[in-house]
């Protein structure tokens, strides 16, 4: 019997097979001769290869190098089937049966895969090890007519010879619980998006979208802005004493902690002055000295969320950029003549688990490279949050001995920087804690207690390799009575602690615990104190009262918004980057100084959804939905039941909202640009190609203009200001504001004039150097102002020979290279 002929797998196997073939059968265009495809060539002496199907060509190339002869590796180029874009695609009346169609353009790919499957001895489905990857394998199994109970699914979390060969030795059938969970998510998102978005089009503005997860993310930003607007700062004062052991001895500072046995809170300047007067001439004496050793533990290895957060803080990467580069590192890159190599493990994970063999490799590496004292006695383990799959791993290098410096010459700049970050974080997570000597001194003066804290590093531990960064003002508390700095532990996740928790590694002894946050704010503040003993008198040098005001919670950055989504149980590792991109592209939020501000549109949409669809923007409800999807994955719930419980009340509210919601008129943003036709101030409008200027006198006056942002450099041809523009594809370029009279354009950002020849100085993508646009001049100079902020993202790079076209209001002119060169249109 051929390996592609149907083999009954018992009652359960056949029932599962029939259920999925019947419910989600391919539509017209996916039918083919099943008998032919199930029969492979049977020629004597012919070496029939096995077929491995993955998603991407890069991944296929790396795996093909590992497997060698006897295997063919093909790429499906991502999903091959999906719900139709032009139709609802879900049969609500029949248990939410989805209607899948072949994605446009995938016909030739499927034909090639069918032919390869027909010629193969066996087919292995090696898509990514998550819900989405399992769903892609299921779609492939259907269009290739593979038996649903056959063990042809393999998964691995790193693209290495060891992992791939191990997976091939233990294939398994498709996991329909994973498939169901992905289908439930896809159907839920379609129900919300295709039912709710038209309401927003009709009542607010065409082109808007609502999503089960994205709308909650916008609400977080809107709620934070409302907190900031409602915040009323409160005044408070601190009192610091500069002290010395002798009249000319070394000075140190102590902060007022208690007055007459009560913790001090100074609200007004008069209270501070009264305390200063009281303490003038008072005797300062050391009453308690506590010396102890403190340990600071490393942070866990990266998960998707923490990688995106740290890459944002340390490298300035967006979540989308981080995941794009991480995908490249995972799928494999060319390292010299050896062919492509996967550098990191799978980058979509919320687990902090590390495989025992990887921990053993790390222990050996640390002992050999740094010394035995840098290796803990037992390998550290970090507990996952509830609901995390223990089989998954954290993000780590596939081979620890492949140091970043060893592969730097083969990697692009972004690839090297992210690989180094992942490599250092993983090594540090397996190292011994840093050790500090801490001294806490209480000083009495006229019924007042001051406290001084000193700390010196005794052993660097993991900090010799890596220290986690912390975002400025990274707090969420709005407690206006808090007059002290929150103690920060930096990386403070100790082994066996929940990933992401901030264990207080600076906790004081029990007798001093009630005031532990007053004096010590960070491990990085390595203040030293002179040798002090109980009963020792001190000299007061001066008293320094300082005024402070409580601060509102900070606006979200990309990093802190991702952290909030993860902590609240909203979304999953694969969704964080798309969520961020969606709410930005829809105009619900805008980034100002790397912080999210809600737009008027974002506020309007959130308020409308909160009034008529409270569940859609409710954080708790959305997190509960994620928990139900997890239960579907675990097999404890049916996915149709989960969708039905959501849809019935949603459909009722939708019907009510269509009747009750009045059209919302957004306030147009007025500019100082005067309409030359009628003299009115033009306003900013939103069109298909983005923002543009329009006359508010429409329809009497139909004048429109592009919305231009000047860059502070004059056009070398006509002297008018150069401005930022966008192509039809949304790519950034620079052109003359006098277009179409002057058609000068440039892909590189002009920053001034060359001091040598007078031509334009331009800064190219991701460059810290400004260079002359005339190649014969060759002048170059450092340009720290670029920092990657004024150029097109790596994934959106435009070749120097490509030029977009312009024809729409609010669109932009076609760029040419600096000078007189006019490349072909894009």
Q: What is the Cα 156 distance to its own chain's centre?
A: 23
Q: Report helix angle 319-331 to 413-429, nearest 10.
A: 80
Contact 604, 667 (CB under 8 A): no
**Does 346 qualify as catalytic in the annotation?**
yes
Concatenated DSSP letters for 389-406? -TTS--B-BS-TTS-HHH
Query: Tokens 């790429």, residue?
Result: 75
Q: What is the Cα 21 distance to its own chain's centre?
A: 37
DSSP code for 650? H
Cα distance between residue 2 and residue 418, in whole Å: 47
Bridge partners, 705 (sequence order): 693
Listed in sequence order, the DSSP H helices in 613-717 are 619-634, 639-660
Contact 344, 329 (CB under 8 A): yes
Cα distance between residue 510 and residue 485, in whole Å: 20
Bridge partners, 202 (sequence order): none
- Cis before 342? omega within 30: no
Cα distance between residue 298 and residue 379, in whole Å: 12
Contact 139, 53 (CB under 8 A): no
Listed in sequence order, the DSSP H helices in 24-130 are 34-37, 57-67, 107-119
Cα distance between residue 529 and residue 37, in whole Å: 80
630: number of CA atoms within 13 Å, CB side?
Answer: 14
| Cβ atoms within 10 Å of 125's Cβ, excluding its own | 26
Concatenated DSSP letters for 554-604? PPP-HHHHHHHHHHTT-S-TTTHHHHHHHHHHTTSEEEETTEEEE-HHHHH
Q: Considering all CA atoms of the chain, what is the largest pairwise distance in Å, rounded to the nearest integer?
A: 106
Q: At 570, phi and psi to the nearest 5?
A: -105, 125
Cα distance between residue 460 and residue 462, in whole Å: 6
4, 297, 330, 346: the catalytic one is: 346
Nearest residue to 420 via CA among 338, 486, 325 = 325
Q: What is the Cα 752 distance to its own chain's centre?
A: 35
Cα distance between residue 366 and residue 370, in whole Å: 5
Nearest residue to 316 via CA among 611, 558, 616 = 558
Query: Tokens 């002992």, residue?
Result: 367
Contact 153, 17 (CB under 8 A): no
Cα distance between residue 727 and residue 824, in whole Å: 14
Cα distance between residue 649 and residue 652, in whole Å: 5
**DSSP-derived 3-state class of residue 629:** helix
Q: Which residues does the annotation mark as catalytic?
A: 346
């Amino acid at each position: 019997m051929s390996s592609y002929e149907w083999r009954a797998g018992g009652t359960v196997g056949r029932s599962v097979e029939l259920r999925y073939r019947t419910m989600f059968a391919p539509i017209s265009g996916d039918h083919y001769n099943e008998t032919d495809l199930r029969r492979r060539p049977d020629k004597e002496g012919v070496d029939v290869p096995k077929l491995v199907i993955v998603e991407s060509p890069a991944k296929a190339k790396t795996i093909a190098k590992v497997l060698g002869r006897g295997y063919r590796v093909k790429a499906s180029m991502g999903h091959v089937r999906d719900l139709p874009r032009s139709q609802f695609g879900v049969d609500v009346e029949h248990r939410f049966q989805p209607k899948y169609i072949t994605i446009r353009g995938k016909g030739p790919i499927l034909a090639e895969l069918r032919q390869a499957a027909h010629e193969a001895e066996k087919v292995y489905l090696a898509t990514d090890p998550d819900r989405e990857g399992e769903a892609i394998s299921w779609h492939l199994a259907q269009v290739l007519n593979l038996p649903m109970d056959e063990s042809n699914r393999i998964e691995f979390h790193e693209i290495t010879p060891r992992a791939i060969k191990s997976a091939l030795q233990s294939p398994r059938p498709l996991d329909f619980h994973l498939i169901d969970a992905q289908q439930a998510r896809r159907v839920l998102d379609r129900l919300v998006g295709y039912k709710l978005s038209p309401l927003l089009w009709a009542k607010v503005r065409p082109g808007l979208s609502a999503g089960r997860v994205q709308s909650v993310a916008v609400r977080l930003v809107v709620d934070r802005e409302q907190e900031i607007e409602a915040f009323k700062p409160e005044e408070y004062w601190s009192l610091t004493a500069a002290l010395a052991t002798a009249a000319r001895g070394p000075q140190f500072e102590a902060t007022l902690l208690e007055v007459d046995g009560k913790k001090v809170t100074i609200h007004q300047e008069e209270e501070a002055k009264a305390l200063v007067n009281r303490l003038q001439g008072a005797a300062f004496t050391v009453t308690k000295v506590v010396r102890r050793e403190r340990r600071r533990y490393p942070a866990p290895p990266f998960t998707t969320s923490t990688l995106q957060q740290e890459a944002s803080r340390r490298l300035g990467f967006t979540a989308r950029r981080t995941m794009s580069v991480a995908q490249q590192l995972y799928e494999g890159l060319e390292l010299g003549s050896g062919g492509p190599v996967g550098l990191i493990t799978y980058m979509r994970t919320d687990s902090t688990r590390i495989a025992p063999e990887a921990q053993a490799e790390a222990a050996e590496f640390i002992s050999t490279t740094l010394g035995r004292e840098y290796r803990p006695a037992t390998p550290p383990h970090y507990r996952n949050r509830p609901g995390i799959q223990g089989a998954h791993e954290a993000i780590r290098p596939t081979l620890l001995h492949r140091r970043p410096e060893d592969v730097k010459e083969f990697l692009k700049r972004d690839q090297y920087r992210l690989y180094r970050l992942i490599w250092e974080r993983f090594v540090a997570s397996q190292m011994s804690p840093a050790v500090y000597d801490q001294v806490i001194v209480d000083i009495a003066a006229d019924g007042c207690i001051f406290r001084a804290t000193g700390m010196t590093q005794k052993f660097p531990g993991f900090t010799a390799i890596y220290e986690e960064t912390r975002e400025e003002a990274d707090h969420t508390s709005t407690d206006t009575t808090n007059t002290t700095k929150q103690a920060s532990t930096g990386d403070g996740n100790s082994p066996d602690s929940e990933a992401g928790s901030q264990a207080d590694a600076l906790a004081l002894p029990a007798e001093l615990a009630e005031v532990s946050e007053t004096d010590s704010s960070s491990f990085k503040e390595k203040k030293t104190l002179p040798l002090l003993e109980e009963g020792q008198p001190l000299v007061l040098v001066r008293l320094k009262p300082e005024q402070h005001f409580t601060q509102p919670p900070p606006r979200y950055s990309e990093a802190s918004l991702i952290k909030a989504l993860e902590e609240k149980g909203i979304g999953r590792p694969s969704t964080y980057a798309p969520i961020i991109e969606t709410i930005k592209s829809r105009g619900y939020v805008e980034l100002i100084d790397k912080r999210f501000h809600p737009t008027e549109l974002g506020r309007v949409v959130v308020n409308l959804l909160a009034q008529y669809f409270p569940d859609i923007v409710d954080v708790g409800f959305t997190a509960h939905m994620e928990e139900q999807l997890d239960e579907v994955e675990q097999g404890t719930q049916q996915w149709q039941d989960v969708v039905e419980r959501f849809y019935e009340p949603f459909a009722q509210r939708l019907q009510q909202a269509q009747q009750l919601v009045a059209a919302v008129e957004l306030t147009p943003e007025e500019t100082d640009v005067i309409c030359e036709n009628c003299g009115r101030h033009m306003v900013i409008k939103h069109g298909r190609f983005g923002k543009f200027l329009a006359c508010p006198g429409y329809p009497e006056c139909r004048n429109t203009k592009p919305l231009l942002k000047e860059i502070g450099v004059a056009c070398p041809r006509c002297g008018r200001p150069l401005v930022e523009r966008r192509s039809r594809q949304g790519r950034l370029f620079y052109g003359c504001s006098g277009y179409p009279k002057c058609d000068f354009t440039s892909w590189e950002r002009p920053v001034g004039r060359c001091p040598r020849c007078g031509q334009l100085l331009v800064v190219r993508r991701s460059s810290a150097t400004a260079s002359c646009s005339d190649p014969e001049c060759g002048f170059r100079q450092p340009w720290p102002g670029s920092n990657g902020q004024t150029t097109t993202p790596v994934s959106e790079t435009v070749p120097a020979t490509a030029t977009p076209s312009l024809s729409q209001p609010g669109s932009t002119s076609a760029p040419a290279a600096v000078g007189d060169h006019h490349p072909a249109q894009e």
